[in-house]
């Protein structure tokens, strides 16, 4: 995993972390992708919440995962929807290798967006924005 200072304009829309999601957005400061795990049923889940959606236990805590994932869905945007996102760019849903039921909506960067495909192996990289570390993914080199 790599932390990269932001390179986009300051107009990027940033998340507003909640008490539950703060660890997810700040884990990149320590080069860690933090996903909540239920201590009762031991399942990972995202987005972060105060209780496990499977067993309803409130004994949940963030823990680091490998940061490796597989692209499950991809959309290449060719329109300028937001400032700072110059098209074309790939918006993807990735499944974490640690638990395929945990999915994140993110971007694949550092490659031609038209080369991004379902089944592509990727790994997390963090882009630092103020007090947030946005997880984006880059292709795993063969």
pLDDT along the chain (142 residues), means of 10: 44 80 95 97 95 96 98 95 84 97 96 97 94 94 76
Q: How many residues comprise the chain?
A: 142
At 16 the pLDDT is 86
Which residues span the domain enclosing 49? 16-139
Q: What pLDDT score does 12 carry?
A: 65
- Coil/strand/helix, residue 75: strand
The answer to whether 73 and 93 are in contact (CB under 8 A) is yes
**CA of 79: how far to CAs of 5, 11, 85, in Å?**
25, 17, 9
Model pLDDT, residue 2:
41
Phi, psi of 25 (to 5 degrees): -80, -20
Task: Please tell me the pTM assigned to this model.
Answer: 0.87
pLDDT for the residue 28:
95
Domains of the chain: total? 1
Establish if 131 belongs to a structural domain.
Answer: yes
124 part of a folded domain: yes
**Residue 1: inside a domain:** no
CA–CA distance, 60 with 63 (Å, rounded to integer) = 10
């Amino acid at each position: 995993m790599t932390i990269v200072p932001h390179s986009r304009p300051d107009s990027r829309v940033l998340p507003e972390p909640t008490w539950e999601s703060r660890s997810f957005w700040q884990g990149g400061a320590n080069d860690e992708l933090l996903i909540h795990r239920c201590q009762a049923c031991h399942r990972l889940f995202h987005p972060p919440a105060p209780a496990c959606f499977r067993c309803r236990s409130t004994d949940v805590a963030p823990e680091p995962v490998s940061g490796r994932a597989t692209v499950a869905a991809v959309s290449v945007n060719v329109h300028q929807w937001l400032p700072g996102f110059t098209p074309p760019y790939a918006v993807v849903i990735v499944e974490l290798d640690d638990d395929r039921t945990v999915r994140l909506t993110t971007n694949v960067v550092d490659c031609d967006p038209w080369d991004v495909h379902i089944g592509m192996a990727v790994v997390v990289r963090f882009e630092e924005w103020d007090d947030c570390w946005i997880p984006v993914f880059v292709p795993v080199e063969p």
